[in-house]
Chains A and B, each alone.
Chain A
Amino acid sequence: MTGLEELKTKILGALPELDVVIGWEQGYDALNATPLFIRKPEDVERLIIGPLCAHNLATYLPGLKDKKVGIVVKGCDSRAVIELLQEKLINKDNITIFGLKCDGVVNLNKIRKKIGDLGQIRKVVFDSGIITITAGETDHQLKFSEVRMDKCDTCKYPNALLFDHFIGTPDDRQNGIEPEHISDAEFEKMSLEDRFAFWKQEMSRCVRCYACRNACPMCVCRDHCVAVTRDPHWISQENDTADNWMFQMIHVMHLTGRCVECGECERACPMDIPLMLLRRQMNKGVRDVFEYEAGIDPQGKPPLLTFKVEEDNIPEREW
């Protein structure tokens, strides 16, 4: 991500027409970024971009549906915007998109696993694929490729796919892309029994905090989420494995053909439950059956909202 000054200029230019522009600023320390809501020109100074800006800001858009909103997006974030537009959950007329080219964002959990919890971080520097983290007087150096988010390993869309302003020059990077996620290979080797036990164990850890749901840009139901209502009453509020499992099934089924794999659910999960594994596997089915990827074409139609009389990839039922 480059072009911070260019971005600032463009935001300043657009701000008079907008109620708010959403970007990122530094959080409580140098390693943590946090969403920034720019309302006044002086707010723009706090704006940052870079590998720490992991948040998918599109999550805020449906809640600001009737406001004039500017939003800064990475490639993956832009897919969420496109998907929301496709589903008419937001109105393009109200949105100004500042598109970035992204070189990957960090996964703080991975950093924490490598260097432990260091307390207050003073400084973070990214240079030539190395991230240098300064806590106290000590420098810690890590390879960026080892601490970036899983989704960045296989990123096909580094550039914002939809934008009103593009910052910098688009990246034509298409190399190093694995068709399937690397970490899924191991899962796919597991037997059905092992998978069932795996999820049972993972779901037993779920605390049903709904962070995964709240972070998800596609979970637009918010207060009306069927996981917490009595009518309909899908699951009890008891925090047990079976109901946790069912909650996660509701989340993944409601994302069928809609999930843009931004990874916010997994990033938000305080229990490190591999939620993206479920979503990637579901998306694989969507790709196989409908040759469809969510959030690519604003004119596209989510596969479950349409049909073909003769489906290309669904075999006739044998009995």
Chain B
Amino acid sequence: MPVYDGKELRIIGFLCNWCSYAGADTAGVGRFQQPTDLRIIKVPCSGRIDPLFILKAFQGGADGVLVSGCHPRDCHYAEGNYYARRRLELLKRFLPVTGIDPDRFEYTWVSASEAPRWQHVVQTFTDRIHKLGPSPLLAAPLTDAEMAKLQSQVEAGSGCGCHK
């Protein structure tokens, strides 16, 4: 399904099964109302989340990606979120190099009991993504300006290093 035109943006969430997914459940049970944009993908542990999944989502045109796991020290698997924290922090610092606004990606810790916190996270992140608007697209065809630039480069002989 495409995102709901004009009302929603594409936000993908990766949640660990034991804390944050359960926290999102608890928020549901408590009827903590949230924006509808977020689509949650369940993984066993934040340590299962390859930063490349997040880049893959951006490649596909996701407007925001949210990762949430157990608080440090509370990992169901004892150490998974410690590794995740290192990977995700580096990703967050690297995103601006690619030109993707680092605000489009957030990682956070929400426990199974923190329903209000989950609501807050979803609300805040969704608001932030709506403020940023749709992501720039890699998949979209080159604009006329880009095409002209590429053409001029090829003509100037700098387009390709091996064939001159």
Contact = CB atoms under 8 A, between A and B. Distances in A.
Interface of A: 109, 117, 192-201, 203-205, 234, 240-243, 245-246, 249-250, 252-253, 256-257, 269-272, 277-278, 281-282, 285-286, 288-290, 303-304, 307-309, 311, 314, 317, 319
Given A289-B93, A307-B79, A307-B83, A253 B124 contact: no
A302 to B, nearest CB: 10
B90 A285 contact: yes
B102 to A, nearest CB: 9
A304 B83 contact: yes
A311 B81 CA distance: 12
A289 B89 contact: yes
Grouping DSSP codes into helix (H, G, I), strand (E, B) and loop, the B interface class, with mixed when no group exceeds half, is helix
B78 to A, nearest CB: 11
B146 A117 contact: no
Contacts of A250: 52
A188 B164 CA distance: 30
A226 to B, nearest CB: 9
A234 B56 CA distance: 8
B105 interface: no
B97 interface: yes
Q: How large is the interface on B (under 10, 10 to 19, 20 to 34, 35 or more residues)?
A: 35 or more
27 contacts: A192-B96, A192-B100, A193-B136, A194-B99, A195-B96, A200-B99, A200-B142, A201-B142, A201-B146, A234-B56, A241-B138, A246-B55, A249-B52, A253-B52, A253-B55, A257-B90, A269-B161, A270-B160, A271-B162, A277-B97, A285-B94, A286-B90, A289-B89, A303-B86, A307-B83, A309-B72, A319-B108
Interface of B: 51-52, 55-56, 59, 72-73, 79, 82-83, 85-87, 89-91, 93-94, 96-101, 107-109, 117, 120-121, 124, 136, 138-139, 142, 146, 149-150, 158-162, 164
Grouping DSSP codes into helix (H, G, I), strand (E, B) and loop, the A interface class, with mixed when no group exceeds half, is helix
A249 B98 contact: yes
Nearest to B141: A241
Contact of B90 (A203, A256, A271): A256
Contacts, number: 120
B149 A201 contact: yes
Given A195-B98, A195-B99, A317 B107 contact: yes
Given A192-B100, A246-B59, A249-B55, 14 more contacts: A192-B96, A194-B99, A195-B99, A201-B146, A204-B142, A205-B160, A245-B59, A271-B160, A271-B161, A271-B162, A272-B161, A289-B90, A289-B93, A307-B85
Nearest to A288: B93
A277 B160 CA distance: 18
Nearest to B120: A319
Contacts of B159: 205
Contacts of A288: 93
Contacts of A272: 158, 161
Nearest to B146: A201
